[in-house]
Structure 1
Amino acid sequence: MKKTIVALAAACCMAFGWQASSTEAASSYTYYQVKKGDTLWKIAKQYHTTVAKLKSLNKLKSDMVHIGKKLKVPTVAKTTTKASANKKAISLSAVDRKLLAQLVQAETGSSEPFAGKVEVALVIFNRVKHKEFPNTVRGVIYQKTKSGYAFAPVKTGKLTRIQPTKKDYEAVDKALALFPNDRRGSLYFYNPKITKDKWMLSRPVTIRIGNHAFAK
């Protein structure tokens, strides 16, 4: 009789262990029902993830989402990212997201690799959190300098007329997700073949991507 009880107890423990493991795996995501006015970008921002990850998790082929649809959204990722982002949180409105995507397009066009677009966006985020620069994305982009403005597209007045591409928006989203753990800390970027500014050329280079050198 004792052997039977022990065997049953062991079986229950094994079943419970399997159930706990299964529950833990399932808890890596939860479900969110799409509401009026929702976009993948808005949902991704709410759950501290990226549009690309949401599309992958839900096997979506486009950025379109329909009201009432239930989407898988990360829960574990939300918790860990939020914990690491508390000290360096960046607030990015839809208007500023477009503005940053416009700057990314203006500075990289179609000739620079995607990684270069992401790094340009990271430069803006790093400046927002640096004491020597304005503390908002819009403030950094429109920062005035002795020569006029910090970025050429703003100086020429062409920035707001530029139409950002899907890749530019994706680069901004990826940079926003990477920013809390960004270790390079790039604050500047330039084309070594064009730039003659001795001060800029003297800055420590963090990475070279395409035609740009990034520095801090």
Structure 2
Amino acid sequence: MKKFIGAFMTVILGLGIYAGTAGAYEYFDEPPFDKYLVSEGDTLSYIGERYSVDLDDLYRFNPHIEEEGLIAGSTINLVEDTESTERTTLSDSERDLLERLVQAEAKGENYEGKVAVAEVVFNRVDSSEFPDSVYGVIMEEGQFEPVTTGTINNSPDSEAVEAVQEALEGTNLVNSALFFWNPTTATSRWLEDKTVVTQIDNHEFLV
């Protein structure tokens, strides 16, 4: 009797395992074929041939693969992921205003320094201590000298434009820094009490 029960349970468990495996298989193998669950021994060539996806496209859809390789149990994209990764939505006028601020505040700084200035603005938008829009952050009274002096009205160069776009896409060079300054050309007892997160070119970035 015990042998019969044991055999019966083995059959039931076997069916359960089979059903679970089939469910996972159907999830990734029913149209649309947008993702693939990597199994041990899989290669990109095999996956590309199976789903009629060009090898170069697979690398483009999954840029992490070149560094990490295929990892069993992970998923890879079979189509391009078009979901936006931008950290906020900017109107055309806000983007232009931010590009002008970066141009004015970081003129003469290296490219990373320009990206970092834009990041500080986005960090302020995310902070409860500042207005919740790019326009509000930049135009807040007494915050940015170019607004007071009028240099924010100067047109941005191509590097400032690119820097804003990179910061918008989520680059993180300054962590949660909310302030920046050049300690060799500016004086501020208030900023001297802040914690330096990092220094990029001539600017210190602080919280």
1:112 maps onto 2:104 in alignment: no
CA distance in 1, matches of 2:48, 2:95: 44
Deviations along 1:50-104, one digit per CA (max 9) or x if unpaired, are xxxxxxxxxxxxxxxxxxxxxxxx823x34x64xx6xxx4111121111111001
Match of 1:102 among 89, 100, 103: 100
- Percent of aligned pairs with the same residue? 35
* Inter-partner Cα distance in structure 1 for 2:163 and 2:140: 22
Deviation, 1:159, is 1.5
TM-score normalised to the size of structure 1? 0.59
Aligned 1:49-198 pairs, distance under 5 A: 75-76=80-81, 78-79=82-83, 82=85, 89-109=87-107, 111-144=108-141, 149-160=142-153, 162-179=154-171, 184-198=175-189
| Cα distance in structure 2, aligned partners of 1:213 and 1:195 | 11
* 1:23/1:141 CA distance change after superposition, 3 Å: same
Q: What amino acid is the match of 1:193?
A: T
SS of the counterpart of 1:91?
coil
The 3 A distance-change label for structure 1 pair 21 and 142 is same
Indicate conservation of the 8 Å contact 1:28/1:75, yes or no: no
Superposed CA RMSD in Å reads 2.7
Distance 2:46 2:194 in 1: 58
How far 1:18 sits from its partner (Å)?
4.9
Structure 2 residue runs of 5 or longer lacking an equivalent are: 1-42, 62-78
The residue identity in structure 1 corresponding to 2:150 is G
Q: Do 2:124 and 2:137's aligned partners in 1 also have CA atoms closer than 8 Å? A: yes
Aligned-pair CA distance for 1:22: 5.2
Give TM-score, length-normalised by structure 2.
Answer: 0.62
C-alpha distance in 1, partners of 2:59/2:91? 27
Give the drift of 1:20: 2.9
Which amino acid in structure 1 is aligned with residue 165 of structure 2?
D
CA distance in 2, matches of 1:128, 1:17: 43
Q: Which runs of 5+ in 1 are unaligned?
A: 1-13, 31-73
